[in-house]
Amino acid sequence: MVKPGRPLETWTCTETDWPRAPVRVAEEIQASMPRNGCPLGGYYPGTSAPDPARSLLVRSRDAGMDQVSDPTDQLFAAYRTTRARMTGLAADLSPRDLGRVVPACPLWTIFDLIAHVVSMPAAIAIGASPPGSITDWLQNLIEDRRDQSAGELTEEWLSLDGAIAVILKGPGGLLFDDLAVHEHDLRTAVGAPDHGALEVEVMLPRTLGGFAEPLRQAGLGAIEVRHDDRMWRSHASEPGWTLEVTPWEAVRALYSRRTAEELRGLPHDGNVEPYLAILDAHLPLPTISLDEP
């Protein structure tokens, strides 16, 4: 498979101390989520490891104050919970099912998607880095697993727990974000939607926090999500666009799983138009609806 680079045990767990190759991989994790009409692995401007403090800005409407929490202790548990749901889905798939195209990632089959979420932590764990194009590197990681079964991929994935626990403590925490989004790409592909299958308290603040710096640079107010009696914001700023949707819908929308017209149609306050450009720069918006229930 991939050639080893710097061993995982020699890494430190801070963003500044990690060798550049794993940081580069972490920063470009989102490039592994190809969009309708967008080439696999294309680099998307503005993609970077979220600021740990800003990423965790969780605001309660009733409390009326900022509450910042550290997800380090939660992130690995959330990763394992998400992985367990995905492996459970994969276990019931036939070889023909594994060959289905994933609508959210039209250049991938279901097998490719599963191979991707396994091969990424496996590569980072041994210090492997892209020798050139990250597009080719990501695809080669998948190709290296063509002769494996879904069961073998699951076994490999489970064997990586020690490495994953370390990786998630640094900028490689984006592996969880990638996984959480891909779970629902998989669910759409197999026709098994579950809007409750989401570690909301970990994923939604991380999703919003990833937009803090691009919004500041663009001179825009925060993105806010409201649901029932809860409220989350991208950063400490007055909101310019408030989504009144479930956390699941918010994550799908903010990770460019909705077309521009679908985003305009979501219940919201504020002017959505300048925010469409921010989302499109983060991950290009699809041109074809995923028709997710």
* Beta-ladder partners of 66: 59
Q: What is the pLDDT of residues 194-246, one digit of tens each?
A: 999 999 999 999 999 999 999 999 999 999 999 999 999 999 999 999 999 99
Q: What is the pLDDT of residues 36-87, one digit of tens each?
A: 433 222 222 233 333 322 222 222 222 222 333 444 578 999 999 999 999 9
Task: Tokens for 157, please give them.
Answer: 């994935």
Share of the chain above pLDDT 90, in %: 70
The C-alpha angle with vertex 246 and arms to 237 and 110, in degrees rounded to 5, equals 110
The C-alpha angle with vertex 292 and arms to 246 and 224, in degrees rounded to 5, equals 25
Task: Tokens for 54, please give them.
Answer: 């800003």
pLDDT for the residue numbered 131? 84
Q: Cα separation of 108 and 104, whole Å?
A: 9
The residue among 23 and 246 whose pLDDT is bigger is: 246
| Cα-only R_g, the chain | 18
Place of tokens 């998989």: 186
What is the band of 134 on the pLDDT scale with cuts at 50, 70, 90?
A: confident
Q: Cα separation of 293 and 288, whole Å?
A: 15
pLDDT for the residue numbered 64? 28
Q: Cα separation of 120 and 141, whole Å?
A: 8
Task: Tokens for 214, please give them.
Answer: 């691009």
Share of the chain above pLDDT 70, in %: 75
Place of tokens 């499109």: 280
Start-end of H helices in 191-272:
200-209, 212-218, 247-254, 260-265
Q: Cα separation of 50 and 35, whole Å?
A: 21
Place of tokens 């965790």: 56
Q: Cα separation of 219 and 170, whole Å?
A: 28
Give the residue from 199, 22, 39, 182 showing the smallest Cα distance to 116: 182
